[in-house]
Structure 1
Amino acid sequence: MASSPELKTFAKFPPQLINLLIENFSIPKECFSKPPTTWETVASLNTLHLSIFVTLTFITLLSTILCIEEIMYLLKKVHCPLKRRTLVWSSAAPTVIAICSCVGLWIPRSAMFTDMISSIYFAVCFALMLWQMIEGFGGEQTLLEELKDAPMKISTGPCCCCCPCLPPIRMTRRNLWILSIGTIQFSLLRPILLFIAMVLWMDGKYDLEDSSSSSASLWIGCILGAFTVLAMWPLQILFQEAKVRLADQNIIPKFALFQTLLILITLQSSILGMLANAGKVACAPPYAGRARAQLMNNHLMIIEMFIVAVVSRLYYRQRDEKEGYSIVSLTNIDNNMDIGNDVTKNSVITQC
């Protein structure tokens, strides 16, 4: 016998009003309930919906197989260990997000956990995109030497695209450090904020349906949005130079795929969530409006991530026989070589 749906507390609807709507207006209890359990989800599926769930699960499995094959190719065909590590983790992003969406498809109450895992992984992709461009040049030292005389335009999106009067900058070690910190801060702060959100959610103080000024979800969402914009700005600045010099490494389509992931992960779920909060997504038992919006997002995300995974395979699956750069002790260098006055005997350098 199916259990009665567990009603959810709403900040903007008192319990008396909810009971009135259920008893006097024949509104299903599921419209005010928590997301269904896995058993309730499976039990509510008809033939059409079950076929959709199975098809989406098969697509996720196919994405996983393609990802594994691509990883095996990169491990064999990319000689530089640092570049190989970055490419492997970057190319796996669509598959990881698809797997999280598939888990959320079958286990609706895991939405908070699956969203957290996919969001943290994509936050790391910001740092990976930065390292892809740096490693594409051949390392920090090679990048500094190649860009030292190139004026870098900083009046670019998403922060300063409307400020063309900003003067260009020169690439120095200090400016590269600032650009790196501007991007990596997002990879560090987003997991921390999401962990805080998870703790507040378990304590009942984090509700995505609460859009009041005192809502923790609203403030955390605004802070994450600001950090996202600040993290994209340094990437755009460096990409303006990388797209010309690293065209043979497919940096343009790789960056376009990264931006596509950013739009799909952040904007798509946010738009569906706002529509659900505004009552534009009707409840369909056993799903309430918000849970149904999450279901729709999972459906779309699995299909979109499969397309992104197939396209990324075309551009990431590239042979790279350069030995890359590794740490070399100066004690192994010929003693007759002039290595400069500012380098000690026990220091190390990187070579490409």
Structure 2
Amino acid sequence: MDGKRTIDPSCRDRPPVAIDIISQLDIFGIILYSVLTFMAVVSMVVYIEECWYIYRKVPSHKKSAIIWVNGAAPVIATMSCLGMWIPRATMFTDMTSACYFAIVVFKFLVLMIEEVGGDEAFLRRAGKNKLRISTGPCCCCCPCLPHVNITRRSLFLLKLGSFQFAVLKIVFTILSIILWTNDNFDIADMAITGAAIWINPGVGVLTIIALWPVAIMFMHLRITLRSLKIIPKYAMYQLVLVLSQLQSAIINILAMNGTIACTPPYSSQARGYMMSQQLLILEMFIITLVTRLLYRRQYDPLPDDENDDEHTKIVLSADKSDIA
């Protein structure tokens, strides 16, 4: 024996087309794909029903933010389902999900402010307090950073920090598609001359910058909005972020390194994408149901804060204990 191994040609091919997947499904594959497709459809149906409820029951100034935030999991599940059935469209479905979530990051910040009553109500309530900026994902290791006064300018900068991601993510996505049509962009091409090695780190930096204002606002309002279940809502938002971005990135890196084995008709990379899509459908289905329970409530105005001084002491004491 010469020790050489024969590599199946399909392990080097492009991902299969949809008709090839359908024709090669066995009984287990048919059941798996049917169940996952059913989950994605149910997620979208639940979301549409929730949008109808929000449209009828929620005050107008909160509708947009709540609808956008609620749509994160169903949209990702739907895009993942399309990517599962049409593997060659995975790049576009992932980009669509990422662009949508970039908007959700900004909308979640807006949602927290609107739950307080809007910009004016937030400034009136929080004018006596200060923002703690030594929080993740940028400055959690810098507890010595000074607290920042809450003013219109600081509120504008917080919004701008998240809004830039919603805009620039779409810009970079359009640029990536344009470069892809000219064979200059390939997700798997990590060469220094490739476009992906420059665009992806840039998007990563923008993501961190955008998440920082949301974390700052959450740390400030987590006590005020505790009765509105802001902590589990924030947890669901963070979970969608981790699963749709970090989990997918880890699986894709393993696939590109060949850690995930090739299984014809899927190459190693295509199989990694398929596994990522299938996991996301299941995870986003569960998150959709949990999110519906969190947001399905009577949207009464937040009571006036009669104990501003006491609330200030609670926030400051919590900050001091965190620093200690």
Letter in 2 for 1:55: V
- Whichever residue aligns with residue 314 of structure 1, its letter is L
Query: Residue type matched to 1:258 in 2?
Result: Y
Quick one: distance in 2 between partners of 1:64 and 1:190?
A: 24
Shift of 1:216: 1.3
Look up the equivalent residue of 2:67 and give its one-letter code.
V
Once the two structures are TM-superposed, the CA of residue 104 in structure 1 deviates from its matched residue by 0.7
After superposition, the CA RMSD in angstroms is 1.3
Which amino acid letter does the alignment assign opposite residue 26 of structure 2? N
Cα deviation, 1:189-244, whole Å, max 9, x if unaligned, reads 00111111111122211112222222211211101110111111111111111111
5 Å-filtered alignment, 1:22-101, equals 25-78=5-58, 80-101=59-80
- 1:242 aligns with 221
CA-to-partner distance for each residue in 1:234-277, whole Å, 9 max, x for gaps? 11111111111111222111111111111111111110111011
* Whole-angstrom CA distance in 1 between matches of 2:133 and 2:187: 35
Deviation (angstroms), 1:321? 3.9
Alpha-carbon distance between aligned partners in 2 of 1:190 and 1:321, rounded to the nearest angstrom = 34
For the 8 Å contact 2:117–2:301, the answer to whether it is kept is no
**Are 2:248 and 1:269 aligned?**
yes
* Contact 1:112/1:198 (<8 A) preserved: no
CA deviation vs aligned residue, 1:131-171 (integer Å, no higher than 9, x gap):
10111111111111111111211111111111111110110
Equivalent position of 2:262 in the other structure: 283
Q: Name the CA distance, whole Å, in 2 between partners of 1:53 and 1:184.
A: 37
Query: CA–CA distance in 2 between the matches of 1:260 and 1:215?
Result: 31
Contact residue 131 and residue 150 of structure 2 kept, 8 A: yes
- Structure-2 separation of matches of 1:181 and 1:59: 36
Q: Which residue, out of 315, 324, 327, partners 2:294?
A: 315
Aligned-partner Cα distance in 2 for 1:165–1:25: 58
* 3-state SS, counterpart of residue 149 of structure 2: coil
Letter in 2 for 1:162: C
Structure 2: where are the runs of 5+ without partners?
A: 303-324
1:198 partnered with 2:177? yes
Deviation at 1:85, TM superposition (A): 2.0
Q: How far apart, CA to CA, are the structure 2 residues paired with 1:279 and 1:85?
A: 43
SS at 1:257 equivalent: helix
- 2: distance between equivalents of 1:31 and 1:251? 47
* 1:219 is aligned to 2:198: yes
**Code of the aligned partner of 1:54:** S
1:76 Cα offset (Å): 2.1
TM-score normalized by structure 1?
0.82
- Alpha-carbon distance between aligned partners in 1 of 2:276 and 2:256, rounded to the nearest angstrom: 15
Displacement of 1:322 = 4.1
Q: 1:233 aligns with which of 212, 215, 221?
A: 212
Q: Distance in 2 between matches of 1:305 and 1:138?
A: 30
Identity of aligned residues (%): 39
**Alignment correspondent of 2:158:** 179
- Report the equivalent of 1:106: 85
Runs (4+) of structure 1 exceeding 3 A deviation are none
In structure 2, the residue matched to 1:189 is 168
- 1:123 corresponds to which residue? 102
1:303 equivalenced with 2:274 (yes/no): no
Give SS of 1:245's match. coil
For the 8 Å contact 2:76–2:97, the answer to whether it is kept is yes
Which amino acid letter does the alignment assign opposite residue 41 of structure 1? I
